[in-house]
C-alpha cells in the first residue's frame, strides 16, 4: 500500500512541476511527512524531487539560464549544509515544530512576494538562493523562495521553469548525502 501511495503522490507532484516549473515538494512533502514522519518524509521528497528535476531538466535544457543557475548553486550549497548541521542537533519535537513554522512562513511568503519591489543584480540572487537552500534542507520546499525571486526579478515563466530544474537537482544532490552523513536520513528506519 505504501508504494502505491508514494507512486501516486510522485506522479501528482511531477505533473505539477511539469506545468509550473516547481511544486513537486509543495504537493508531495506535506503528505510524505504525515505518512513517513518529519525526517524520512522530507528525505523522500528530496530523493524523488531529484529524479523529477533531472528528468524535466533534460527535457527543458534549451531554455535554461546557466549563469543564474550557477549563482543559485553557489549560494544555496553552503546554506543547505549549515541548515542540515543545525537541524541535526535539534530534538525530534523541536524539529517537528520548526518544520511546521517554516511551512507557515513559506505560505505567507508565496502569498505576499508579488508585493516586493523589483530587484536587480547578484545580491538578490544570492539572498533568495540561500533562503531556498535552507528551506530545501529543512522541509524540501524551496518553491516560495524561488518564486519570490522570480516575481521580484520579473523572470519569464519559460526560462524560470527550465532553470529551476538544475537548481532543484543541485539542491537535492547536496541535501540527500549531507542528511545521510549527519545521520538525519533513515533515522526512523523507514528509508535506511
Least confident of 38-47, 54-63, 109-118, 139-148: 109-118
Q: What is the pLDDT of residues 34-79, one digit of tens each?
A: 888 877 888 888 889 899 999 999 999 999 999 999 999 999 999 9
Mean pLDDT score of the chain: 85
Closest to 141 measured CA to CA, from 97, 175, 184: 175
Dihedral pair phi/psi, residue 19, rounded to 5°: -85, -45
Least confident of 56-60, 130-134, 148-152: 148-152
Q: What is the dihedral of CA 48, 174, 153, 139, to 10 degrees?
A: 60
Contacts with 168 (C-beta within 8 Å, 6 or more apart), sequence order: 22, 24, 49, 50, 52, 53, 136, 142
Residue 191's pLDDT is 37
Residue 114's pLDDT is 67
Residue 192's pLDDT is 34
Residue 117's pLDDT is 75
CA–CA separation, 69 vs 160, rounded Å?
10
- The model's confidence at residue 190, banded by pLDDT at 50, 70 and 90, is very low
Q: Is it the case that residue 126 has pLDDT exceeding 90?
A: yes
Looking at residue 142, what DSSP letter applies? -
Q: Is it the case that residue 85 has pLDDT exceeding 70?
A: yes
Average pLDDT for residues 148-174, to the nearest whole number? 90
Dihedral pair phi/psi, residue 191, rounded to 5°: -110, -5
Residue 70's pLDDT is 96
- For the entire predicted model, the pTM comes to 0.81
Amino acid at each position: 500500500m505504501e508504494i502505491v501511495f508514494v507512486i501516486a503522490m510522485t506522479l501528482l507532484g511531477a505533473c505539477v512541476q511539469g506545468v509550473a516549473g516547481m511544486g513537486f515538494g509543495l504537493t508531495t512533502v506535506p503528505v510524505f511527512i504525515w505518512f513517513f514522519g518529519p525526517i524520512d518524509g522530507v528525505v523522500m521528497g528530496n530523493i524523488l524531487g531529484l529524479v523529477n528535476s533531472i528528468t524535466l531538466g533534460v527535457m527543458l535544457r534549451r531554455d535554461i539560464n546557466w549563469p543564474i543557475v550557477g549563482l543559485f548553486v553557489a549560494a544555496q550549497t553552503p546554506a543547505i549544509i549549515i541548515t542540515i548541521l543545525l537541524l541535526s542537533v535539534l530534538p525530534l519535537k523541536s524539529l517537528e515544530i520548526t518544520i511546521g513554522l517554516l511551512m507557515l512562513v513559506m505560505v505567507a511568503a508565496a502569498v505576499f512576494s508579488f508585493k516586493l519591489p523589483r530587484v536587480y543584480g547578484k545580491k538578490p540572487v544570492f539572498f533568495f538562493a540561500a533562503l531556498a537552500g535552507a528551506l530545501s534542507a529543512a522541509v524540501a520546499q524551496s518553491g516560495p523562495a524561488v518564486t519570490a525571486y522570480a516575481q521580484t526579478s520579473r523572470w519569464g515563466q519559460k526560462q524560470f521553469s527550465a532553470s529551476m530544474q538544475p537548481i532543484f537537482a543541485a539542491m537535492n544532490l547536496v541535501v540527500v548525502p549531507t542528511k545521510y552523513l549527519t545521520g538525519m536520513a533513515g533515522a526512523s528506519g523507514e528509508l535506511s
